[in-house]
Amino acid sequence: MSLVYFIAIPILASFLTPFYKNYLRFVSVLVNILLAGFAAFFYSRLPLNEFISLDSPLSIIFILDYVSFFFVSLFIGVMLFFSLYSIKEKNNTAVFVVTNIFTSGALGLILSADIFNIYIFFEIASISAYILTGLNRDKVAYSGAIKYMIVGAVASIFLLLGIMLMYLNLGYLTLSSIGAGFHTMDKGIQYLVLLSLFIGFGIKTEILPLNFWVADIYQATPTKIAALFSAVLSKAYLFVFFHILYTLKVDAPALLFLTAIGLLSFAVAELSALRSKDVKRIFAYSTLGQLGVLFLALSSANVVVVSGALFLILVHSISKLMLFFSLDLVEKKMHSTRVEAFAGFRSAFLFTIFAIGFLSLLGIPPFAGFIAKLTILKGFASMGAYGIVGAILAISLVEATYFFRLLSANQRSKKTAEIKVPLLQKIMLSLLALAILYLGLFPQGLLDFCTDAAQTLIQGVIHV
C-alpha cells in the first residue's frame, strides 16, 4: 500500500473519463469511497513516512502523520459528501472531471513533505479551482475566473520565489532538511523567504490585506463549488503554510505578527458582512472571518489553541457545506441569492439547517462550534492572552448580528415560494446537522485526536 494512491486514483479517474463519460458521477463516488477505505487502512499505521526517490533535489516524500491524516480524512469526507450529494446531476460531467483533479491536488498538498511537490500540488489545486470558478459559463463566472487566475498567478510567483531562495541557499527541497538548515541561512534571506511564503500563502489562505478578491470569486462560483473552496481549498493552503512555518521554527515576533493579521482579518471580514445585501457574499465574508480566527489560533504555537483550531476547521467545513448546499437549493428556487430572495422562501427544514449552521459558526452551544471556540479561548486564557479572548468575543458579536438578521428576515417576511427539498438532499443535510449536534454534545474523542494532531503540527517535520 502506498500513499501515492491518494493522489493517483482521483487524477486517473479524471483522465479516463472518455471510457465512462456518462457514469463519471458514480465513478467519483466510488473513487472517494476507495480513498476513504485507504484512509481507514492507514489509521492504525500512523505516523507514516514514504520516500519515493532519495536523490536530492528530486526526492519525493509523503508524510501521513496525525495532523495530515486529520486533513486527508476531512477532505475525503467532504469530497465523498459532495459526490454523493450531486449524484443525480447527469449533465454535469465537467464538474466531476475537475473536482477529482481538485481532490488529488488538495490531498497532494497535505501529504507532500518536500517543497517542490508542494509547489506542484499548489498549482494543480489552484488551476482546478480557476476552472471550477468559471463553470457557470456566463460573464460573471468568466470575469471571476480570470480575476482568480491573475491573483493566483501572483501568489504562485511569490511562493516560487521563496522556494527558489531556499533551494539556492540550502541546496535541498525536503521539508525536514530545510527545517534543520533554515537557521544557518543569512538573516536577511530568512526574512525574505518567510515574507514570500507569507505573501504566496497569504493570498491563498485569504487573509487581510491579501483577500480583497475573495468575495467576488465566491459570488462568481457556482454555490456548491463555493462550499468546496471554503471547506477544502482554503484549509489545505492553511495547513501547508503552518506546516512549513512550524518546521522552519520561526521566532516569536513573526508568529505574533501573524496573530495580529489574523485578528484584523477576522474583524474586517465580519464588519463587511454586517451590511452586505447578498447571502452568498455574507457566507464568503464569514469564511474569511473564520479563516482569520484559524490563522490567529494556528499561529499561537500552543497545543490547546491549535487543537481547538483543528476542531474548528472540521466544524467550519461541515457548517459551510451545509450552508452553501442549502443556499444552492434556495438559489435554484428563487433564482437569486439576495437577502430579499433568502427572506422569501418557505421551508421549515431549510430554515432549521440554516439556523443550526449559523449557531454553530457563532460558537453557540449546544453545537460543535462552541466546543471549538471554547477550546481556543481556554488555550488563550492559559497563555494569559486575555486581550485576544476579548477581541474574539467582541467580533463574534458582530457576526451574531448579521446571522440573526438573516434568520429573522426569513422568519418575518411574506413567503413567496415553497421549497420542497428532495429526499436525498434532505438526508444528506440532516446528517451534517446531526454531526454538528453530536460533536457539540460528545466532543471528547475528536478533541483527543485533535490534541495529538496539534502536537504533531507544532513539532513540525523532524529530520529523519
- In this structure, the strands spanning 417-418 and 345-346 are parallel
Beta strand spans in 126-280 (E)? none
DSSP letter at 337? -
CB of 138 to another protein, least distance (A): 18
CB of 400 to another protein, least distance (A): 4
**C-alpha closest to that of 145 among 227, 213, 199:** 213
Told to check if 365 binds another protein by CB under 8 A, we report yes
Binding-site size for another protein (CB under 8 A) equals: 63
Cβ nearer to another protein, comparing 66 with 266: 266
Cβ nearer to another protein, comparing 33 with 154: 154
Contacting residue, 57, 171, 390, 422, with another protein by CB under 8 A: 390
Query: Half-sphere exposure (CA, 13 Å, Cβ side) for 125?
Result: 28
Q: Are 107 and 235 in contact (CB under 8 A)?
A: no
If 0-12 CB within 10 Å is exposed, 13-18 middle and 19+ buried, where does residue 152 land? buried
CB of 271 to another protein, least distance (A): 5
Told to check if 386 binds another protein by CB under 8 A, we report yes
Q: Are 308 and 319 in contact (CB under 8 A)?
A: no
For residues 399 and 103, what is the distance between their CA atoms, to the nearest angstrom?
Answer: 31
**In the numeric block, which cell numbers belong to residue 280?**
452568498
The SS3 of residue 454 is helix
Contacting residue, 78, 185, 314, 398, with another protein by CB under 8 A: 398
Contacting residue, 51, 401, 415, 464, with another protein by CB under 8 A: 401
CB of 346 to another protein, least distance (A): 14
CB of 16 to another protein, least distance (A): 35
Of residues 108-147, those binding another protein (CB under 8 A): 146-147
Told to check if 216 binds another protein by CB under 8 A, we report yes
Alpha helices in 63-135 (DSSP H): 66-85, 93-111, 115-133
Told to check if 378 binds another protein by CB under 8 A, we report yes
CB of 301 to another protein, least distance (A): 18
CB of 44 to another protein, least distance (A): 29
Q: What is the residue type of 48?
A: L
Contacting residue, 30, 36, 189, 381, with another protein by CB under 8 A: 381
Cα dihedral across residues 362, 407, 265, 143: positive or negative? positive
For residues 253 and 459, what is the distance between their CA atoms, to the nearest angstrom?
Answer: 18
Told to check if 411 binds another protein by CB under 8 A, we report yes
For helices 66-85 and 24-43, what crossing angle results, to 10°? 160
If 0-12 CB within 10 Å is exposed, 13-18 middle and 19+ buried, where does residue 170 land? middle
- Among the listed ranges 57-65, 235-243, 314-322, 370-378, the one in contact with another protein (CB under 8 A) is 370-378
Q: How far is CA 142 from CA 7, 91, 96, 133, 463, in A?
A: 28, 20, 19, 8, 45
- Among the listed ranges 12-20, 39-47, 396-404, 414-422, the one in contact with another protein (CB under 8 A) is 396-404
For residues 396 and 207, what is the distance between their CA atoms, to the nearest angstrom?
Answer: 17
List phi, psi (to 5°) of 413: -80, 170
Told to check if 439 binds another protein by CB under 8 A, we report no
Of residues 163-202, those binding another protein (CB under 8 A): 188, 191-192, 195, 198-199
Told to check if 154 binds another protein by CB under 8 A, we report yes
Of residues 278-297, those binding another protein (CB under 8 A): 281, 285
List phi, psi (to 5°) of 154: -60, -45
CB of 14 to another protein, least distance (A): 28
CB of 136 to another protein, least distance (A): 18
Q: Are 344 and 415 in contact (CB under 8 A)?
A: yes
Told to check if 382 binds another protein by CB under 8 A, we report yes
Told to check if 160 binds another protein by CB under 8 A, we report no
Cβ nearer to another protein, comparing 114 with 399: 399
Question: Which residues of this chain interact with another protein, rule CB under 8 A?
Answer: 146-147, 150-151, 154, 158, 188, 191-192, 195, 198-199, 203, 209-216, 268, 271-276, 281, 285, 355, 359, 362, 364-366, 370, 374, 377-378, 380-382, 384, 386, 389-390, 393-394, 396-398, 400-401, 404-405, 407-409, 411-412, 441, 443
